[in-house]
Amino acid sequence: MKRNEVDRSKISPMMLQYLEIKDNYEDSIIFFRLGDFYEMFFEDAAICSRVLELTLTGKNAGLDERVPMCGVPHHSATSYIDTLIDNGYKVAICEQLEDPKNTKKMVKRDVIQVVTRGTRLDDHIDAKDNNFIASIYDFGYCYGISYSDISTGEFYVTLIDKKEEILVREVCKNNFKEIIVNDDMDRGIVNTLRTNFGVLVSIRKDMLEEDEYSYIYKDLKDERLITTIKHLLCYILENKKGELKHLQKAIFIKSNDHLLFDNNTKRNLELVETIRNRERQYSLLWLLDKTKTAMGSRFLKQNIESPLTNKEDINRRFDMIEVLQTEFILRDDLIKELDGVYDLERLVSRISYGNLNARDMIQLKNSLSHLPRIKEILEKLKYNKTINTLDEVYELLDKSINENAPIGLREGNLIKSGYNSELDEIKSISSGSKEFILSMEKEERERTGINNLKVGFNKVFGYYIEVSNGSKDKIKDEFGYERKQTLTNCERFITPLLKEKENIILSAEEKIINLEYKLFMGIREVVKRYISEIQSVSKVISEVDMLQSFSIVSEANKYVRPSIVSEKVIKMKDCRHPVVEKVMKDGYVSNDVDMGVDTDILLITGPNMAGKSTYMRQTAITIIMAQIGCFVPCTSCTIPIFDKIFTRIGASDDLVSGESTFMVEMKEANFALSEATEDSLILFDELGRGTATYDGMSLAQAILEYIHDKKKSKTMFSTHYHELTVLEQDLDRLKNVHVAASEEDGKLTFLHKIKNGAIDKSYGIHVASIAHLPKSLINRALEILDVYEAKKVKKETFTQTSLFDNIEEEQQENPLLEKIKNIKPLEMTPMDALSFVYEINKEASEEEE
């Protein structure tokens, strides 16, 4: 039976309540609280029985047919919710809002929160990774993107050009777990994000109306940014329903604030996970992560995904690494202190949202206890940022919260004695009465002469006096004993005095629990006032932790401080691939990269397996390491700041789009060629090999010429078409290098050494023989090769004048067009835009005259 087939006039009142709630949460699975269970009904029940492997039953609801139902016990609901979230569902938790004992009518119920992939605040999110939820707002001519990690409070916003590739780059860079889009968003893109990138995408129209959270965007002027933020906030607040005052002011990220690269680059360079197993181990992140705090680890990952472009900031980090390496005793101290700091960012979000317990408070206190020493060390190291040690918060927590407090807030034992006099008084009354009861046993034994008389307690009868059957006769009326319970071998009694003391104890215990809860909430309120200070401390700690990690890793692996220059040169001496080097232990052959101001393109030839792609990868990784402020795996390194990196190495991740590998390769090449600037790095590995030899070779040449003449980006282009090496004669900023291999008695040895000049021949067949193809087959291939070599097309064919020479002439650049091309619409104010239109209109009219 389906939900929308139900006749609501006939259905039971409780089921009607369910349906009315469900109407508001169409896209979520409702966990409907019934006593000790959460029950799911109708289509939700069908999904849950399948995904969670639960038995599908039915519930009578006044209809002819039973309503499909399945359920889970409330105390084990979390793991079921996790499974649903991992499978891409959202779960709305619908609770009983009143105690069934206190009402004769039907219990009120409502959704208290919706758990979604991007809005989780529990322990199930990865401590070493951010959990970003984003709004992507299609404005017709550009996209606004706002994103937040509500478990840490970070909030960012940016504007990007309306290009699918750029959008995908942003989504993958930040690893968005969940996205909401506005109604205008192209459904094709929504599907790509869902199917190719596994992101949970919902289309939402609503906008935040109240302005309680306006502090998040009030410093921003651009309405587009504000709209995107309000769109996201509306969704978050609708789902979380609690207080989220730890959300920080949104930081506007400009497109040139960071070194940009797309998801293929991130994957192919194995920056945060390996291609093969998608694991952190053996990625660059794994290598560099010697951080001590979860905050530091997350910050490092953010940096690797978005390196810096500001020279001063980068140099400041290098300075700190140098200081940490000289002051290694202080560094050891710092590391010890950092080790004791818990995840302050996530603790703070729990304080704000209200789901924290006394143990979180103790973790907070213990973390704060390290701040004075950290501050002192940072001062000694002359670090450019300092921290507030938050002494008053530490003192408050130290005198109030019990070290051994339980997890539950309604069990008492939260607050230390000496913190609140009322609490101490009730506690002393209660313990006085307990002591009285303890001494009562001795007194009653003496009074009655019954030596085995006991005073005991149980939950049903409270305190009692127990007398064994053998001594029952000794009880006299004057003792004032009142029989309460008869057991097989004893009899239990109470006395008015015992009950009086019991009353005091029990009411005191209830009072203690309530008062402790109230005091705990008061302490939480005080701590809440320090949320933004704690967040500032977290920021400094994250960076310092990352830098100490860099200094340790750099020292252990002999990395050096790169020098960042404004000339467009790449000079790397003895550069290594940091991860391959680490894994190989010894035997890694280091290589130089020598691209002066007059070299834009390195054409790298060499047999397969020689080490061409490793060489290109290590160059890009070295640049990324430098731009996150880490030392680099070279003996010396001079580079400029890069704005973007494009790579076309290895397999693409766009496997589901149904396009051929070659098509994807060409699309990616196109994206690189259109987006790259003189400040970009392009790595093309065997571009064009996916088509016929001459096609591939011609394309490769045309692309090289295009980059050389038009883009002037620093480019490394590997190829095994050694025919292309003659281009060096025509393209003056192209230089040939090759990976040396030695051939002796027909046996090939890879030396992995990059040398100047072109390779003389291709060794494809040798590589095939290393792979143990049949001997007869290899011999036959060598025979065929001889025939081809004999007929070889003359090299000159390929060195005809650049294809673009003609185009150049045809398209005499129009200065007005150049001007329009060069503007940055996203960075203009409406006033700038208007004056620009006025200006070009004027110029165009003048030209006509």
Binding-site ranges for ligand ADP (CB under 6 A): 580, 588-589, 591, 606, 608-614, 752
Cβ closest to ligand ADP, residue 603 vs residue 609:
609
Cβ closest to ligand ADP, residue 530 vs residue 588:
588
Minimal distance in Å, beta carbon 601 to ligand ADP? 17
Cβ closest to ligand ADP, residue 71 vs residue 633:
633
Minimal distance in Å, beta carbon 700 to ligand ADP? 15
Minimal distance in Å, beta carbon 752 to ligand ADP? 4
Cβ closest to ligand ADP, residue 31 vs residue 615:
615
- Do 386 and 379 touch, CB atoms closer than 8 A? yes
Minimal distance in Å, beta carbon 280 to ligand ADP? 20
Report d(CA 545, CA 535) in Å as an integer. 15
Question: Under the phi-then-psi rule, with left for phi > 0, alpha for psi from -120 to 50, and beta for the rest, what region is 278?
Answer: left
Minimal distance in Å, beta carbon 732 to ligand ADP? 26
Minimal distance in Å, beta carbon 528 to ligand ADP? 53
Minimal distance in Å, beta carbon 746 to ligand ADP? 20
Residue 360's identity, in one-letter code, is D
Which residue has the CB atom at the shortest distance from ligand ADP? 611
Minimal distance in Å, beta carbon 603 to ligand ADP? 14
Best CA proximity match to 724, nearest among 709, 734, 713, 711: 734
List Cβ neighbours of 748 (8 Å cut-off, separation of 6 or more). Answer: 607, 741, 742, 763, 766, 767, 769, 770
What are the φ and ψ backbone dihedral angles of 62, each rounded to 5 degrees? 85, 5
- Both tokens assigned to 395: 């003192």
Cβ closest to ligand ADP, residue 611 vs residue 688:
611
Cβ closest to ligand ADP, residue 228 vs residue 614:
614
Helix (H) or strand (E) holding 69: strand 67-73
- Both tokens assigned to 275: 């291609």
Minimal distance in Å, beta carbon 708 to ligand ADP? 22
Minimal distance in Å, beta carbon 575 to ligand ADP? 9
List % helix, strand, coil for the chain (3-state, nearest 5).
45, 20, 35
Cβ closest to ligand ADP, residue 302 vs residue 762:
762
Residue 646 carries which DSSP code? E
Integer angstrom CA distances of residue 509 from 326, 410, 434, 521 = 58, 11, 11, 18
Task: Transcribe 573-626 into DSSP letters.
Answer: EEE--HHHHHHH-S-PPPEEEEE-TT--EEEEE--TTSSHHHHHHHHHHHHHHH
User: Can you list the pairs that 202-206 forms with residues at least 24 positions away whose Cβ atoms lie under 8 Å?
Assistant: 202/27, 202/178, 202/235, 204/180, 204/231, 204/234, 204/235, 206/231, 206/234, 206/235, 206/238
Q: In the β-sheet with 91-96, what is the strand arrangement from edge to edge?
A: 57-59, 67-73, 37-41, 29-34, 91-96, 109-115
Minimal distance in Å, beta carbon 769 to ligand ADP? 16
Minimal distance in Å, beta carbon 650 to ligand ADP? 9
- Do 673 and 706 touch, CB atoms closer than 8 A? yes
List Cβ neighbours of 405 (8 Å cut-off, separation of 6 or more). Answer: 357, 358, 359, 361, 362, 413, 414
Cβ closest to ligand ADP, residue 610 vs residue 737:
610
Cβ closest to ligand ADP, residue 613 vs residue 680:
613
Minimal distance in Å, beta carbon 647 to ligand ADP? 13
Measured in residues, the chain has a length of 849
Cβ closest to ligand ADP, residue 607 vs residue 629:
607
Q: Which residues lie across from 743 on neighbouring strands?
A: 748
Minimal distance in Å, beta carbon 777 to ligand ADP? 21
Residue 827 carries which DSSP code? G
Q: In the β-sheet with 133-138, what is the strand arrangement from edge to edge?
A: 200-203, 178-181, 133-138, 142-149, 154-161, 251-253
Best CA proximity match to 233, nearest among 252, 247, 223: 247
Beta pairing class for 644-648 and 681-685: parallel
Q: Which residues lie across from 111 on neighbouring strands?
A: 94
- Do 70 and 45 touch, CB atoms closer than 8 A? yes
Helix 344-353 to helix 531-556 angle (10° resolution) is 160
Cβ closest to ligand ADP, residue 10 vs residue 747:
747
Cβ closest to ligand ADP, residue 412 vs residue 633:
633
What are the φ and ψ backbone dihedral angles of 273, each rounded to 5 degrees? -155, 160
Integer angstrom CA distances of residue 561 from 326, 542, 631 = 14, 21, 5
Report d(CA 688, CA 700) in Å as an integer. 6
Cβ closest to ligand ADP, residue 267 vs residue 612:
612
Cβ closest to ligand ADP, residue 94 vs residue 741:
741
Minimal distance in Å, beta carbon 672 to ligand ADP? 19
- Both tokens assigned to 744: 């002796």
- Do 152 and 294 touch, CB atoms closer than 8 A? no
Cβ closest to ligand ADP, residue 176 vs residue 588:
588
Minimal distance in Å, beta carbon 607 to ligand ADP? 7
User: Radius of gyration (Cα) for the chain, nearest Å?
Assistant: 36
Cβ closest to ligand ADP, residue 324 vs residue 589:
589
Cβ closest to ligand ADP, residue 606 vs residue 640:
606
Unique residue bearing structure tokens 């060409």: 666
> In terms of C-beta density within 10 A (0-12 exposed, 13-18 middle, 19 or more buried), how is residue 320 classed?
buried
Minimal distance in Å, beta carbon 562 to ligand ADP? 20
Minimal distance in Å, beta carbon 83 to ligand ADP? 39
- Do 255 and 675 touch, CB atoms closer than 8 A? no
Cβ closest to ligand ADP, residue 397 vs residue 741:
741
